[in-house]
């Protein structure tokens, strides 16, 4: 078996389409299809159901998926550790973070953690959508993932392969530009089915989009909201909200200053808020010495008391 076969398999899982997956892997479709068949021959079972228009995993494929993800992640982590040993220096601790937290939370949290525990770390940070960050973790490109979390919108990490701790709290609040006279929001919740509010919402690849969609679904149909603009970055939605384009749910960590200054106002009361955690994920497999040292500090801080 070759590592390329695992990456091919996961690409086909992601795109559910042979030609698009082959394009992502930068090989021809016939060559890509041959490699998938070779993997299935090696596993000894068909991994994909090809009888429908959209490619889907078979029962065997569902069983193989977490194994493939773990094998690929361990291979890349093992390569990194070997390279670190050869270079005779500690590895850089690599973080993947969603866009909003990379700006509002990560810098201060990292500085405080390093200062309190006298850590001297080499750190790299990659920012992406939640879906992009998940892929970085699954492919072994990051030691840690920093993201928002809510129980109604679980991530795609299986608990037998990943661990996590909550290291902070945040709040999704409905926000609007103020009215010209300054008396309340330009768009006030709730809207009506006859006159729905323009909704500035998150793309499906966004973690906060998953959280918000799950919570709005729990509260009933959102016929009182009319999608007016979609983006995967909270910072973009905040800009559009300030411009008076509609109502959006934004993290307090990002727009707390705007609310205090009056550039934004609440579009609804506290009953519309969505409390969320700030969570740090890591693989269960042992990582580099520097990453393990950092994890031991974070875990000790978490065990000592509730998240700040």
Where does CATH 1.10.10.10 sit in the chain?
Answer: 3-71
pLDDT at 36: 93
Give the per-residue pLDDT at 67: 92
Please determine, for residue 271, whether its predicted confidence score (pLDDT) is greater than 70.
Answer: yes
**pLDDT tens for each residue of 126-181:** 999 888 898 898 888 899 999 999 988 877 788 888 999 999 999 999 999 999 98
Say what the pLDDT of residue 120 is: 76
Residue percentage of the chain with pLDDT more than 70: 93
**Cα gap 81→91, rounded to integer Å:** 8
CA distance 37 to 68: 15
Level-2 CATH architecture, domain 170-275: 3-Layer(aba) Sandwich (3.40)
Q: Return the CATH superfamily for domain 83-169+277-304.
A: Periplasmic binding protein-like II (3.40.190.10)
Confidence label for 250 from pLDDT (cuts 50, 70 and 90)? very high
Q: Which residue has the tokens 């990292």?
A: 110
Per-residue pLDDT, 54: 76
Q: Say what the pLDDT of residue 64 is.
A: 93
Yes or no: say if 259 and 265 are a contact pair by the CB < 8 Å rule.
Answer: yes
pLDDT confidence bin for 87, thresholds 50/70/90 = low
Kindly indicate the confidence band of residue 190, based on its pLDDT and cuts at 50, 70 and 90. Answer: confident
Query: pLDDT confidence of 303, banded at 50, 70, 90?
Result: confident
- Contacts of 232 by beta carbon, 8 Å cutoff, 6+ apart: 99, 129, 202, 203, 205, 206, 209
Predicted confidence at residue 90, as pLDDT, reads 46
Assigned architecture for domain 3-71: Orthogonal Bundle (1.10)
Of 283, 281, 272, nearest in space to 81 by CA? 283
**CATH 3.40.190.290 boundaries in the chain:** 170-275
Q: What is the pLDDT of residues 26-73, one digit of tens each?
A: 999 999 999 999 999 999 999 999 887 778 999 999 999 999 999 998
pLDDT of residue 89: 45
- How many other CB atoms sit within 10 Å of the CB of residue 41? 10
Q: Do the strands 144-149 and 162-176 form a parallel or antiparallel pair, or are they unpaired?
A: unpaired
The ranges of the chain annotated as CATH 3.40.190.10 are 83-169+277-304
């Amino acid at each position: 078996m070759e590592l390329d076969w695992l990456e091919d398999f996961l690409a086909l899982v992601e795109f559910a389409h042979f030609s698009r997956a082959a394009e992502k892997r930068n090989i021809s479709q016939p060559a890509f299809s041959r490699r998938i068949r070779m993997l299935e021959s090696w596993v000894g079972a068909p991994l994909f159901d090809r009888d429908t228009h959209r490619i889907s995993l078979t029962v065997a494929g569902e069983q193989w998926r977490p194994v493939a993800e773990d094998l690929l992640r361990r291979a890349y982590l093992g390569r990194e550790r070997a390279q670190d040993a050869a270079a005779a220096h500690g590895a850089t601790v690599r973080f993947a973070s969603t866009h909003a937290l990379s700006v509002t939370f990560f810098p201060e949290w990292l500085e405080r953690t390093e200062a309190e525990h006298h850590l001297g770390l080499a750190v790299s940070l990659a920012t992406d959508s939640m879906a992009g960050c998940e892929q970085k973790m699954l492919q072994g490109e990051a030691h840690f993932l920093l993201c928002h979390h809510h129980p109604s919108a679980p991530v795609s990490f299986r608990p037998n392969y990943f661990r996590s701790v909550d290291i902070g709290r945040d709040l999704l609040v409905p926000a609007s530009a103020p009215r010209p006279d300054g008396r309340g929001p330009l768009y006030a919740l709730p809207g009506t089915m006859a006159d729905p509010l323009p909704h500035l919402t998150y793309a499906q690849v966004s973690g906060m989009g998953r959280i918000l969609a799950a919570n709005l679904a729990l509260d009933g149909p959102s016929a009182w909201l009319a999608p007016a603009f979609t983006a995967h970055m909270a910072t973009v939605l905040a800009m559009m909200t300030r411009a008076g384009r509609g109502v959006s749910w934004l993290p307090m960590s990002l727009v707390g200053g705007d609310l205090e200054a009056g550039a934004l106002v609440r579009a609804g009361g506290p009953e519309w808020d969505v409390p969320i955690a700030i969570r740090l994920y890591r693989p269960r497999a042992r990582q580099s010495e520097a990453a393990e040292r950092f994890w031991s500090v974070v875990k000790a801080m978490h065990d000592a008391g509730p998240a700040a």
